[in-house]
Amino acid sequence: MQQHEFARIGISKSFQITNIFKQLSVYENVRVAAQMETVRYNFLRNAQNYPKPIEIAAQLLERVNLGHLRNKKTGDLAHGQQRALKIAMALACSC
């Protein structure tokens, strides 16, 4: 199958090299992923005004056991925690 066909049937990829926004918090990384999937971004509207991505991010952080680290900078996470974050971000893109 082609890569886009995997995405259409709901299979997400997580690459060996972790690509995250290291300057953002754990929560912000997942919220951005959820926001990309659920709303069209409007540069004139505050990102906090989008309730669906906020709800998805909170739920997914608990699901991957990172809820207690939601305000920590992603660059400060251990590698295993960054991998868990990538899983949450991949799941956010399939909501």
The residue ranges of every structural domain in the chain are 3-92
Mean pLDDT of 56-77: 96
Residue pair 54/43 in contact (Cβ under 8 Å)? The answer is: no
N-terminal to C-terminal alpha carbon distance within the chain? 22
Which pTM value belongs to this model? 0.75
Q: For all residues of the chain together, what is the average pLDDT?
A: 83
Domain 3-92 coded CATH 3.40.50.300 = yes
Look at residue 69 and tell me whether its pLDDT is greater than 70. yes
Query: 48 or 60: whose pLDDT is higher?
Result: 60
Mean pLDDT of 52-60: 93
pLDDT at 17: 56
DSSP at 73: B
